Amino acid sequence: MNRNILKVIIPIILILLLSIKALNIGSIELSFTEMIEMLRGIDDKQYAIVRITRVPAIFVGIICGAMFAMSGVLLQAVMKNPLADPSIIGISGGASFGALLAVSLFPDLLIMKPIFALIFGVLACSIVYSLAWKGALNPVRVILVGIAINTLFNGLEDFVSYFLSAGFVMPVSTVSTGGHTSQSVNYLIIYFVLALILGFCMYKKCNVLGLGDHNAHSLGINVDQTRLIISVVAVFLAIIPTMYIGPISFVGLIVPHIGRKLVGNNHKYLILYSGLLGGFLLLFADVISRSIIYPIEIPLDIIMALIGAPFFLYMIRKGNQYVK
């Protein structure tokens, strides 16, 4: 079989297998025929529980993973830096501070958490871009300012946590694919379709930037404007999953690297392919987080860091493209 087809089919099969596994983590276990019946919508109390709690989590895992990964590809293209990911432009720090603030200010209003995450995520990356702008958008300046702003928001988060810890116990981490209704998953699917279209539309722009600013300019491309447009799409792609499951940085960081190894640096393929790999990776981490010490669910960001960090180190040690 054609190697390129295999590269697409294998992650799809793995996603399907993981989805089946994910459907069966919990007190209710379904056989294969029961699973088919449940998916066909046959009325049953057990099936209803699985449909309401587990199916949305699978969709959330796959879609959020895909969006984080695509965001990482776009940011790495814009910054021309293999270390760029959503946390670099302040989204993660801002969004997690926003979420903490919402939980502490309005402990009874859960709806405020994603709203605050969105507001502070956008606020943080607006600060990063406006401070980095100095007549032109210099990628190195964006990264340096991004690190500072992310650290600032992490500090603020610790500060708020410290003051609150005397009053009541804060959840250590709430990064999880769970707790979503099928209606909120429907919205997520709409965002995802939009993200796929917008992300794919960016491929030419990313490729032109790959030729270097000077060549892009002489092809009539406004380099700063192009960077800004791709960044806005990348922010959208990162904010939505951050709102749904919380900030996870490793997906956006490592998946583009794996994607590049498998399909190369042509963004026509890399953007969507990284989405596919990102969906797989987050679902994989989700399955582990739910099953490894069942019935306790380990926060997803912890699992992602435990998988991501060693893998990233392995890639740096093995590859030589980062140390020329």
Please state, as a whole number, how many other Cβ atoms lie within 10 Å of the Cβ of residue 260: 19
C-beta of residue 39 within 8 angstroms of C-beta of residue 304: no
- 186 vs 215, beta carbon nearer other proteins: 215
293 SS3 class: strand
- 154 vs 207, beta carbon nearer other proteins: 207
- 74 vs 124, beta carbon nearer other proteins: 74
Is the peptide bond between 56 and the residue preceding it cis, with omega within 30 degrees of 0?
no
C-beta of residue 14 within 8 angstroms of C-beta of residue 280: yes
Please state the closest distance from residue 218 (CB atom) to other proteins, in A. Answer: 4
Please state the closest distance from residue 221 (CB atom) to other proteins, in A. Answer: 7
Question: Two tokens at 81?
Answer: 């830096």
296 SS3 class: strand
Q: Which residues here bind other proteins, judged by CB under 8 A?
A: 204, 207-208, 210-212, 214-215, 217-222, 260, 263-266, 269
- 131 vs 221, beta carbon nearer other proteins: 221
- 6 vs 48, beta carbon nearer other proteins: 6
Closest CA to 71 of 223, 222, 258, 199: 199
Please state the closest distance from residue 270 (CB atom) to other proteins, in A. Answer: 9
Block residue for tokens 């702008």: 133
Please state, as a whole number, how many other Cβ atoms lie within 10 Å of the Cβ of residue 139: 17
Please state the closest distance from residue 226 (CB atom) to other proteins, in A. Answer: 11
- 151 vs 222, beta carbon nearer other proteins: 222
What is the Cβ-side half-sphere exposure of residue 146, based on CA atoms within 13 angstroms? 23
How deeply is 291 buried, as exposed, middle or buried, from its count of CB atoms within 10 A (0-12, 13-18, 19+)?
middle
Please state the closest distance from residue 214 (CB atom) to other proteins, in A. Answer: 5
Please state the closest distance from residue 212 (CB atom) to other proteins, in A. Answer: 4
Amino acid at 61: G
- 126 vs 138, beta carbon nearer other proteins: 138
Please state the closest distance from residue 101 (CB atom) to other proteins, in A. Answer: 39
